[in-house]
Amino acid sequence: MGPIGNAAFSFLYNNSVNILEILLIAIGLALDAFAVSIAGGATMKKLEMKNALKMGLFFGGFQAIMPVIGWLAGIGMKSFITGVDHWIAFGLLTLIGGKMIYEAMKIKPEEESGPGSRPFDTGMLFILAVATSIDALAVGITFSVLSVSIILPALVIGGVTFVMSVTGVRLGVKGGHFFENKIEVAGGLILFGIGLKILLDHLRVF
């Protein structure tokens, strides 16, 4: 096993969050952007791949950057939260998941159900990308308090979001807008489940 393999092996077995959990967190975070992408695609009569890629780059880029910012912020807090870090991780992921579920379930006026009439404009995409990546900022703090290196999670979160955003636009063009809110609920449940697992592992329930 070479240096890269040894590093990957060490990451998998020496951190409280493993590769599978990082992937699930990435999917949970990306589902928010996925839902917005579906709504954006629903505004187009036919697929324009350049717009789908543009949305994917904005959403994936911000979803990769925000966890790094949160992780850096969390470093300064670690000395104050040692001993309760897993409770904080559980609380943050539960709040994020609950927020996603609440926002998906609440009744929205028809004019607020989509990202706007011009969702692929650069200014609009910037706003949407920031709005859908705020939760990733909190997840970055969670990784920091758990002493998990942020490089791999940031890349996975950004990559998964990019792929799912492009896919969401394609589905939206084909009439997938109906599933938008249900997707956000699924994302919230995934994040809550990961937070609960982290807490139960810390309490040695399993």
Q: For 90-104, how does the pLDDT look when each residue is reduced to its tens digit (9 = 90+)?
A: 887 788 778 777 877
Given a cut of 50, is residue 73 above it in pLDDT?
A: yes
What pLDDT score does 83 carry? 63
What pLDDT score does 200 carry? 78
Given a cut of 50, is residue 179 above it in pLDDT?
A: yes
Distance (Å, whole) CA 39 – CA 177: 6
Give mean pLDDT, residues 195-199.
75
Q: What share of the chain is helix, strand, coil (3-state, %, to 5)?
A: 80, 0, 20
User: Which tokens sit at 200?
Assistant: 């139960």
42 against 28, higher pLDDT:
28
**How many other C-beta atoms can be found within 10 angstroms of the C-beta atom of residue 78?**
13
The CA-atom distances, in angstroms, between 117 and each of 120, 144, 158, 180 are 9, 38, 26, 17
The CA-atom distances, in angstroms, between 176 and each of 34, 118, 167, 168, 172 are 11, 18, 11, 8, 5
What pLDDT score does 47 carry? 80
**What predicted TM-score, i.e. pTM, was given to this entire model?**
0.69
Give mean pLDDT, residues 139-145.
86
The CA-atom distances, in angstroms, between 41 and each of 44, 126, 180, 182, 199 are 6, 17, 11, 17, 38
The predicted-structure confidence for 151-162, as pLDDT tens digits, reads as follows 999 999 999 999
Q: What percent of the chain has pLDDT over 70?
A: 71
What pLDDT score does 65 carry? 96
Distance (Å, whole) CA 200 – CA 206: 7
User: Which tokens sit at 14?
Assistant: 């020496």
Largest CA distance in the chain: 57
47 against 10, higher pLDDT:
47
